[in-house]
Amino acid sequence: MTKSPNPSEFAIASPAPDADTGPLAIEARDLVKRFDGTIAVDGVDISVPAGTIFGILGPNGAGKTTTLRMLLGIIDPDSGTRRVLGSDNPHAIAHRIGYLPEERGLYPAMKAVDAIAFVGALRGLPRDEGRRRGRELLEEYGFGHIADRQIRQMSKGQAQTVQLLATLVHKPDLIVLDEPFSGLDAISQGRLEKLIRGLAIDGTTVIFSTHVLSHAERLCERIAIIAGGKVPFHGLVSTARDRLPPQVHLETRNVDGPWRAALPPEAEPQLRSTGGALFDFSLTGEVEPLLTALIEGGAGIQALSIERAGLHDAFVAIAGEAAARALEQDAEGVAR
Ligand SMILES: Nc1ncnc2c1ncn2[C@@H]1O[C@H](COP(=O)(O)OP(=O)(O)OP(=O)(O)O)[C@@H](O)[C@H]1O
């Protein structure tokens, strides 16, 4: 069944930073959390439009889990405000939220359908309904054959999928996933991306944390980059990518001519053994004048590509080299 976010369910306390978002499923302002005097989250803002997929990106220890826990009401912020599904009290809307915690674990002796029904019951779903829906979900996602298998008899990936499906069983309006891709092989990761996309198409809001940028790049319209408890960027992925100029790769038949004046001074030609030249440079101005100069100036274009910066380069530009290196190390740790 397709759900569409009902604007009346999301009373917005204050205007969103980007006014074009529509109703917000999550609105957090200036969240701060200290543990034993050490600051874990230092003034985090997050706005998640209803029915969208939102990624919180950052290395280990950046403050992702602490932020998600504050949104869910598992812990309270020392200061700042949070409004989730139109409520200032996360506990009052717990039945409308599904949560996959970073610590995985279901009762090993339980069968998959019972484990799903158990998690659903914690969110107010009657057990029988949970078992029926659990079986349906397992079938739908290609795991019907393990419906009556005990958790202890499953692979790690299977058990994690069961736990993930358990977060959906009560048909929540908001799903919160803490590092959902970690521990899954490439095929299961692809399946999970598809599942998350399907949830958003059906009107569910999804927020997930990750230190693997490619998942966020493929899935999210909006992200928050978090490093050292602070959020140096929060908004559209495309805006983050536009922080850097697009990269031009140009192959020409000729090496010199009046057209060279349209290229930036740092665009040095690499001469090709077969004649002609290659140029790689950042596009700082408009594309059209460059194209006109190349064509009318007789460059003899053999190949030309203009690519926007990827999220990884944007992350480096926004969060700095150190945070990007930490992110890469975390990702390698997961792959091992
Ligand atoms: N209960 C706690 N007591 C003390 N320190 C904590 C507690 N929870 C988190 N921290 C600290 O707060 C900081 C942020 O941790 P958090 O778990 O939010 O980061 P994260 O980005 O989710 O990283 P990871 O992916 O490794 O969980 C870290 O320095 C962590 O050690």
CA 178–ligand 1 middle distance (angstroms): 12
Q: Indicate whether 325 belongs to any domain.
A: no
Question: Are 154 and 290 members of one domain?
Answer: no
Sign of the Cα pseudo-torsion (252, 258, 262, 264, in order): positive
Averaged pLDDT, 220-246: 91
Instruction: Identify whether 123 is part of a domain.
Output: yes
Give the single-character DSSP code of 77: -
Please report the atom of ligand 1 found closest to the CA of residue 36: 4
**CA 232–ligand 1 middle distance (angstroms):** 18
216 alpha carbon – ligand 1 mean position (Å) = 21
What predicted TM-score, i.e. pTM, was given to this entire model?
0.83
The predicted-structure confidence for 11-54, as pLDDT tens digits, reads as follows 333 334 454 668 999 999 999 999 998 999 999 999 999 999 99
Q: Has residue 138 been placed in a domain?
A: yes
> Domain range holding 39?
7-241
What pLDDT does residue 21 have? 66
The confidence score (pLDDT) of residue 172 equals 95
Is the distance from the beta carbon of residue 111 to the nearest atom of ligand 1 less than 6 Å? no
Per-residue pLDDT tens digits for 165-178: 999 999 999 999 99
Quote the pLDDT of residue 334: 53
Q: Do 145 and 291 belong together in one domain?
A: no
Task: Judge whether 317 lies within some domain.
Answer: no
What angle do helix axes 186-201 and 156-168 make, rounded to 10 degrees? 10
Q: What is the pLDDT of residues 186-213, one digit of tens each?
A: 888 888 899 999 999 999 999 999 988 9
Q: Which residue's C-alpha comes closest to atom 30 of ligand 1?
A: 61
The finding on whether 182 has its CB within 6 A of some atom of ligand 1 is: no
- Residue nearest atom 12 of ligand 1, based on CA coordinates: 40
144 and 210 both lie in a single domain: yes
Is there a domain that residue 264 lies in? yes
Distance of CA 6 to the CA centre of its chain: 23
Q: 98 with 182, same domain?
A: yes
**Residue 157 domain flag:** yes
Q: Which two tokens stand for residue 100?
A: 């996959």
Instruction: Please tell me whether residues 154 and 234 are part of one structural domain.
Output: yes
Could you tell me whether strands 270-271 and 24-35 are parallel, antiparallel, or unpaired per DSSP bridges? unpaired
Question: What distance in angstroms lies between residue 320's CA and the mean position of ligand 1's atoms?
Answer: 20
In sequence order, what DSSP letters do the residues of 300-333 get, joined into one string? -EEEEEEEPPPHHHHHHHHH-HHHHHHHHHHHHH
Q: What is the CATH number of the domain that holds 168?
A: 3.40.50.300
Is 334 within the bounds of a domain? Answer: no
35 touches ligand 1 (CB under 6 Å): yes
CB atoms within 10 A of CB 81: 13
Q: Which of 225, 241, 257 is the last residue of a domain?
A: 241
Question: Is 225 in the same domain as 252?
Answer: no
What is the model's pLDDT at position 308? 87
Indicate whether residue 228 lines ligand 1 (CB < 6 A).
no
Ligand 1 atom closest to the CA of 66, numbered from 1: 18
- What atom of ligand 1 comes closest to residue 209's alpha carbon? 22
Domain boundary among 241, 263, 295: 241
41 C-alpha to ligand 1 centroid (Å): 9
How do residues 273-309 score in pLDDT, each as one tens digit?
A: 888 999 999 998 889 999 999 999 999 999 999 998 8
* Per-residue pLDDT at 8 exceeds 80: no
25 touches 199 (CB < 8 A): no
ipTM summary value: 0.95
Residue bearing the CA closest to ligand 1, atom 11: 40
What is residue 268's DSSP assignment?
A: P
Domain count, the chain: 2
Task: Tell me what the mean pLDDT of segment 236-246 comes to.
Answer: 90
- 71 and 207 both lie in a single domain: yes
Which pLDDT score is estimated for 10? Answer: 34
Residues 165 and 274 in one domain: no
Q: Are residues 150 and 279 in the same domain?
A: no
pLDDT computed for residue 16 by the predictor: 42
Same domain, 48 and 126: yes
Dihedral (CA of 229, 232, 237, 241) sign? negative
